[in-house]
Chain A
């Protein structure tokens, strides 16, 4: 079946079965490999994208349900890495292997959309992604830094 998805502001055609998870439509059909596969059962967050501005796990999001929504992937943050989160992440040496970080960034972006100045407790709730490398202390510090920069 053919579906039209709006991804990072552009309409794109996907030819896939309706139950195909958005994750695989993005990665295999559209070549947007920034969104990662980690678990496939919504436990790790590596596949986090925004659906109408809210963080969702694309591995458990059927492509049929994405029609009519605005999807944003890590590629849609800023292609040149000029998004404040991307800059802070680079400066503060946040990623280790980096595999979880697209999802991490999308979860954080969603958090900052909702709560411009999150508390540590807010961060714990909104950013429940797994990072096996253990970048959590850096991610937390970087969120606070980004929030500060965005306020200024």
Chain B
């Protein structure tokens, strides 16, 4: 490491100053096609950036280094927008490139120190620390350019204005940024400029740029993990133990050796990852453990895949095989939810005493099944393992996690591990653990010296998931004299790795006088789980908000007004505001033909028990159920409060997508288990909403409270849309759907069309 990089350890500001005269702009790499590290990052050691966040080249192109992979949610664009706000360059001149985790490592966490916990290399781009980092860097660059120009023109730099990549002065002098790049690089400012305040913004929140990578997407040039082509690359088709936790007994390479293109079979042995020395993984490493697997290596993927299908393999299924079918697992989860929980998540007042009073007592059980993210790009990763170095190309959701996993799996020194982040064909939580990359590294270890492109078939992707956990819930409530709940008991249970988020830390239990929330883990479930868009929330919101609807009906009240009465007690006014906006905009209460109805639900993603945190979102779903039980969803209204929004159009797009995701989860998604294996493998058995099934979606911004936060937007709709639909279906059919997916229920009913 050079002195320069050591100096920058204390953060980007020092990095800039410390570099001093060595900061030369615009010399280094030729411009590569926009955003992607498809080309191996030649060497960050030679990079000549302003700071780790930003670089300008002599052709006027501005490169922004982005830490968090864009999975379709737009962080690349948002990072560029911050830079554009301060630097006032031309939007067309900005490109984004992924920041390299090895650089982060070498510079002592220069990227990951910003933004705290999960926020680095993942999550949303609108957190304050990230914004400040980009904006400070860009403002520093701007001031240096102004200073250089002021010097050359003999005017005060404060009199110089910047716009669209040009520096100008009232004297009529003007020049493009590029003219002063090298001089600016040598400028030392007395003080780094502060980022503009919100009132001063001219680009942020004023212009809603579309995602900057779209031109590459629509020409087919965008390089996803699947599209990596490295010289000398071979392909591997992968099969892991069909029952999770099983082991490999034998395989017969001779049976396929003769097949065209086939080079080798690599066997992967299960490992138990510990913590790597000194490196802190972001997500737990346990779920990234390598399973028993075989991979066929061939010249082309199709050859590898065909040979893998023909390869005789014998597995020992292990203990997971005892789960003969899904019902057995459902029963185990429900059984656990019926008993007192292992953990007390929240305990207020005395629910049992309250129940003893009698009166209106409601009790119900709910269940949500295992579901897969089924992101469109099947899992894949390309790895080249050499004696003392490793290079990885990955469509990950967390580049740094892959870096740590790779260091650990290979034992190669961190400075010899390079991880290239590619475009990502959907994440939804599936690509955070790095298990996909780790198994690819393990395969490449068995075929060293050559880049190995490991591809999971769709079936492999679906059957070897990190699923939305199977969760059962037992709920009990008592209504007080005012019709509102006076006590709530909730017990949830699921397999290891399930999430309670959105159950105890949300507004409903927090406004009630008597609440008991408990959870239990069913330890012998062998199926691996993980985050799926709105983890925990996407089950818990369904439980609570369906149950709340039962309460409203038991109280004889309008479900929406009933919720207003409850959430008026909560100190975050966003909840009531959302409900009122929905009431007004969705046509709530206006008459509908027989067989149609609206349902409502509300929840918050990310509040963690605190007001004015996370994103609150409410939804009204307008559905129709025919006499014979055919369901059609006509319209979804969404109102939300995430404080403020940075890019309105980006938010709108995410909410539309999230609403569709939540709808599908509730309506269609379920994985079945048979003798321990996952049954469904592809979209034929695991249905996904298509164009023709998509309802009208109306996103309402009027409920924003202007509270000072820009919170997450991808997950929030996934909670309430499902229960809102269930509530509408109840209104029509009188049938209360207590398990997902709804398509499994017979919705036929007596009246209507």
Contacts and interface: CB of A to CB of B under 8 A. Distances in A.
B210 A100 contact: no
A78 B103 CA distance: 37
Given A95-B72, A98-B214, A133 B229 contact: no
Nearest to B427: A97
A110 to B, nearest CB: 14
A134 B693 CA distance: 11
B692 A125 contact: yes
Contacts of A34: 219-221
B424 A97 contact: yes
A41 interface: yes
B722 to A, nearest CB: 14
Contacts of B624: none
Contact of B697 (A29, A38, A131, A137): A137
B378 A134 contact: no
B660 A28 contact: no
A145 B649 CA distance: 17
Contact of A99 (B425, B657, B690): B425
A20 interface: yes
B378 A38 contact: yes
B426 A97 contact: yes
A28 B305 CA distance: 13
Interface stretch (B149-157, B313-321, B564-572, B681-689): B681-689
B190 interface: no
Interface stretch (B82-90, B369-377, B540-548, B731-739): B369-377
Where chain B touches its partner, the secondary structure class is loop
Contact of A98 (B213, B455, B658, B691): B213
B218 A96 contact: no
A17 B260 contact: yes
A141 to B, nearest CB: 11
A132 B664 CA distance: 10
Contacts of A124: 690-692
Contact of A136 (B224, B227, B682, B694): B694
A139 B214 CA distance: 14
B691 A139 contact: yes
Contacts of B73: 96
Interface string A119-152: 0000111011111111111111000000000000
A98 B684 CA distance: 22
Contacts of A134: 656-661, 689, 694
A81 B215 contact: yes
Contact of B214 (A46, A74, A93, A100): A93
Given A38-B378, A40-B458, A90 B215 contact: yes
Given A24-B302, A40-B457, A97-B424, A75 B691 contact: no
A94 interface: yes
A4 interface: no
Interface string B384-416: 000000000000000000000000000000000
5 contacts: A33-B220, A41-B684, A86-B215, A97-B427, A98-B217
Interface of B: 70-73, 210-211, 213-215, 217-224, 226-227, 229, 235, 260, 300-303, 373-378, 423-428, 455, 457-458, 649-650, 653-654, 656-661, 682-684, 688-692, 694, 696-697
Given A32-B220, A33-B226, A130-B683, 19 more contacts: A17-B260, A28-B235, A28-B300, A34-B220, A38-B376, A41-B684, A77-B219, A78-B219, A79-B219, A89-B214, A96-B657, A98-B214, A98-B217, A124-B692, A127-B691, A129-B690, A134-B656, A134-B658, A137-B696
Closest 3 CB pairs of A and B: A34-B220, A99-B425, A97-B72
